[in-house]
Amino acid sequence: MSTIIKAENIGIKFSLGKKGYKKMQLTLGDVLKKGNQVRSTDDNSYDFWALRNVSFTINKGDILGVVGSNGSGKSTLLRIIAGVYSVDEGEIEVSGTISPLLSLGTGFKPALSGYDNIFLNGVIMGFQKHEIEEHVKDIIEFSELGNFIFEPVKNYSSGMAARLGFSIAVFLKRDIMLIDEVLGVGDYKFREKSQQKMREVIKSGQTVIIVSHNLESISEYANKCIWINKGELVMEGDTDEVLKKYVS
Ligand SMILES: Nc1ncnc2c1ncn2[C@@H]1O[C@H](COP(=O)(O)OP(=O)(O)OP(=O)(O)O)[C@@H](O)[C@H]1O
Ligand SMILES: [Mg+2]
């Protein structure tokens, strides 16, 4: 089996508490009046490690589930894999092309229409215009957005944006598909349809990383799972075993 992602002791830190707000002494009125001036010039910044000492490998065709409580670092991990963030510690090797990070609202230019966003995402993913044109009809049809496809994405509901993101990712395929909590967003009918599509995608040998709080989806799709808590890897292994420990 060929390794497609190998992460070794990766860590990423954010600088928090920059320019502390002296908000305790201020009323909302002061804040509104003074705007930015309420920022203190004191530098109270400190490093916050959103992920640390995280190691795992993903082979071609693996469906990796990522679980963990809110703020544990799951989306940050996907952003690292997608190349949006670079690590401060350790090493990560990604040997494949990545589909755009599929998460709510990200990846889209709100002022552009859904139609233009299909092309924008396609180009960012490295597709040629004619390759995108080959799939655009399928994407629009699958998303069921109708004429809204020509409206700016900023006017979409979160479910509509998720439909479009999902449709783009399943038709413009790259080596690794990253899914951050979008499977459960559509309405009941779209969810059924996207679950069916996911089964097809998985059967085709696609490598997928799914972040979700919906453990049923993780359990159905993922053959491997990692559990992250407060930025640290608690467990990596077989999905059923990890989920059993995670919920206990
Ligand atoms: N750009 C950033 N600057 C500062 N802190 C950040 C940044 N991005 C993420 N964080 C922090 O890193 C931690 C992990 O965030 P992340 O979004 O990865 O959590 P998550 O596991 O995806 O949570 P959820 O289940 O709520 O989606 C959080 O404490 C978050 O506030
Ligand atoms: Mg998240």
Q: Where are the domains of the chain?
A: 1-17+47-99+215-248
Query: For the CA atoms of 79, 83, 89, 92, what is the dihedral angle to 10 degrees?
Result: 100
Ligand nearest to the CA of 46: 1
Q: Does residue 10 carry a pLDDT above 70?
A: yes
Query: Which whole-number Å values give the CA distances from 35 to 7, 21, 30, 54, 115, in the listed order?
Result: 43, 12, 8, 40, 38
Domain spanning 1-17+47-99+215-248: CATH superfamily: P-loop containing nucleotide triphosphate hydrolases (3.40.50.300)
Ligand 1: atom nearest CA of 74 is 21
For residue range 199-240, list pLDDT tens digits in order: 999 999 999 999 999 999 999 999 999 999 999 999 999 999
* pLDDT tens per residue, range 53-76: 999 999 999 999 999 999 999 999
- Mean pLDDT for the chain? 88
Tokens of residue 82, six digits: 């997608």
Q: What are all long-range contacts of 126-135, with beta carbons under 8 Å and residues at least 24 apart? A: 126/97, 126/174, 127/172, 131/172, 132/172, 135/171, 135/172
Q: What's at 237, amino acid-wise?
A: G
Distance of CA 74 from the midpoint of ligand 2 (Å): 6
Give the tokens for residue 133: 């044109």
Nearest residue (by CA) to ligand 1, atom 3, is 14
Cα distance between residue 168 and residue 94, in whole Å: 22
Task: Look at residues 3, 13, 14, 96 and name the one whose alpha carbon lies nearest to residue 53.
Answer: 13
pTM: 0.85
